[in-house]
Structure 1
Amino acid sequence: MQARANHHRLSRAALATGLALSSLAVSQLALAGPAAAVPGLTRQSSTGPSDSVAKTQNRACPAGTVALGGGGAVTGATGNIGLDFMLPVSGDTTWSVTGREDENGTASNWSLSATVLCAPAPSGYQVVSGSSAWSSPSTKSHLVSCPIGKVALGVGGAVSGASTSELILEDLRIDTSSVTVTGAEDGTGFAADWQVQARAICANQPAGYERLLDDSVLSSTSVKSVTVTCSAGRRVHGVGAEILGGEGQVRLTAVHAVSTTAVTATATEDDNGFSGNWKVRAFAVCAN
């Protein structure tokens, strides 16, 4: 177990170093041909019951529209709850979020929200899916690229293989033309094989496309949150987040568009706490 923990720390340290960026970055991609705005963009959200059982919350897009991006949030008992699945489903017209308690469980009630950004399918709309191999390392990532000439608007991801939240969905990273989903075993490890699923929501570059990110402070505070806001005149199309430095002991508890122009990511140390420094990063893909 110690060897696995050491390997996990080294892997996360290398990832954090490799991803080190300024606290606010903008990435833009110039593609051939004119860019058009995405019309009819709406934000849809719903919240399920408050109780102490595993649950899935689905939010459908209005008829004639598809999911461009989405996320979820846990309210209550956040140190024990993992957001294991955040994916477009049902022909990419619904956003699905699953939350489960870890192996310690909790007697407290908690609720789950799902938020999806919907619009009529933009030019070049395509959802590309991929999965890692089934294996049992302490952490693993899977990258999915958009077809050449398209940009990533949103990201979906999941960790599969555990009956409780012993696997943590750590990263839902959006790059200009790809997405990366990273999962990790929790602080007590996980003996069986498991898998990471990744989905890139792609389209031709819309007018005003920008990829923004911002980081929370790097510290050992037990709960951190960061919000990134679109530039003037742009609205959120896609949502992402990642944890840097948590070593399997920090969980994403909110990754969602809190408005049509802003994305918030929140993360919480597990119920055993974590003595190291870590931070959470929020991604927003915005366009006209």
Structure 2
Amino acid sequence: MKRKLAGLAVLTGMAAATTLLAPTSPAQASVGLYRVAATSVLDATNAKTMAISCNGVDQVVGAGGRINDGQGDVLMTRVYADATLHTVTVLGVEANATNVPWSVDAFAVCAPAGAVTGLQLVTTTSANNALDKVGITAVCPPGKKTFGGGYRIDNANAAVAIDELAFTSALGSVSSTAYVFGAPGNFTLQTQAFCAAPLPAMALTEATSASNANSPKSMTTPACPAGSQTAGVGAVLTGLTGAGSVATLLPKPALDTAEATGREIVAFATAWNVKAQQVCVG
């Protein structure tokens, strides 16, 4: 049945914001990252896929996506880069049938050719079964740091919710978690890390919303330090465990902040929160 979700949560002094610095050198000028975006058709079709590519031979260092007007009935089950780190693809599928028009945004944060050294895609895929997938982690090789990350669920029949795409404070790995809320059958969850030689300035900034039963909740990170830009975007939902999902991973157009949104899939009376993360590089 179609649900009416509560209005956007009012975030007060209860929300927390932090900047966690990775062990790198002092800041320098921006490396010239830029954002490209694309939006799918707006209608009630289930499902929708949207892809966006970097210019020329430039490569993806960060990925993001957003479900527009889905009201919690639509899951963002994939936000991932292709093997060459050139294109980001986002998939939205209906968990609850809806006749309300909705659309999908895809975002790629791109690095000009030569701006980032040793960029590579690292992936880890879960076991293929019908269980929750918790903390599926992609680890960067020694000497490299995480600039961004992504995830993809396969064969879940719109019955599995992404609960987090999370970066560590040391920027050494990316983890994703998916919870079963229906009858998916066997499915897999893949986590992606976009890894490269560290830049002189790298930091993880994050902010956590108030914890209450309101839905949806959106949170925006603190701004990147001077001279750096947003690369990766993450989100962590705490307290929903399958009753909601990540609906937005948004690198803002100026690449100075990032936004994350969580939405309930089914009515949920218990308090929960969303933490937004961004990887700042420069």
Same fold judged by TM-score > 0.5? Answer: yes
CA separation of 1:37 and 1:182: change in aligned 2, threshold 3 A: farther
Q: Which amino acid aligns with 1:51?
A: D
Pair 1:243–1:136, CA change in 2 (3 A): same
Q: Structure 1 pair 35/128, CA: closer, same or farther in 2 (3 Å)?
A: farther
Corresponding position of 1:30: 23
Name the structure 1 match of 2:145: 151
Alignment of 1:2-81 (within 5 A): 23-30=16-23, 39-53=31-45, 54-81=47-74
Distance apart, 1:34 and its partner CA:
9.7
Please point out which of 115, 118, 132 is paired with 2:110. 118
Q: What residue is the counterpart of 1:284 in the other structure?
A: 278
Task: Write the distance in 1 (CA, Å) between the matches of 2:74 and 2:259.
Answer: 18
Within 5 Å, which residues of 2 pair with 1:196-215?
196-215=189-208
Q: Secondary structure at the match of 2:72?
A: helix
Judge conservation of contact 2:147–2:281 (CA < 8 Å) in 1: no
Aligned to 1:181: 176
Structure 1 counterpart of 2:257, from 262, 267, 270: 262
Which of the two has greater helix per residue? 1
| Cα 1:236/1:94, change in 2 over 3 Å | same
Residue 131 to residue 138, structure 1, CA distance change in 2 (3 Å): closer
The residue number in structure 2 matching 1:135 is 129
Distance apart, 1:138 and its partner CA? 3.4
Q: Which one of the candidate residues 195, 216, 220 is aligned to 2:188?
A: 195
CA-CA distance at 1:133 after TM superposition: 0.6
TM-score (norm 1): 0.85
Q: Which amino acid aligns with 2:262?
A: A
Task: Show structure 1 runs of 5+ residues with no match.
Answer: 1-21
Within the candidate set 93, 96, 104, 1:100 is matched to 93
| Residue identity in the other structure for 1:180 | S
Contact 1:239–1:257 under 8 Å retained in 2: yes
Give aligned pairs, total: 261
- Alignment CA distance shift 1:25-1:35 (3 Å): closer
Structure 2 residue runs of 5 or longer lacking an equivalent are 1-14
C-alpha displacement at 1:162, in angstroms?
Answer: 2.0
Change (3 A) 1:210 1:52: same
4+ runs deviating over 3 angstroms? 33-38
Could you give the per-residue CA deviations for residues 252-272 of structure 1, whole angstroms, max 9, x where no partner exists? Answer: 1111102211100011112x3
Deviation at 1:39, TM superposition (A): 2.8
Residue aligning to 1:4: none
Contact in 2 for aligned 1:149/1:204 (Cα 8 Å): yes
1:175-219: per-residue Cα shift (whole Å, max 9, x none)? 210000111112xx3251221101100111112211111111111
When the two structures are superposed, what TM-score results if normalisation uses the length of structure 2? 0.87
Q: State the identity %.
A: 27
Contact 1:37-1:287 within 8 A present in 2 as well: no
Q: What is the CA–CA distance in structure 2 between the aligned matches of 1:138 and 1:214, rounded to whole Å?
A: 26
Q: Give how far 1:245 is off.
A: 0.8
CA distance, structure 2, for counterparts of residue 34 and residue 284 of structure 1? 19
CA–CA distance in 2 between the matches of 1:236 and 1:27? 14
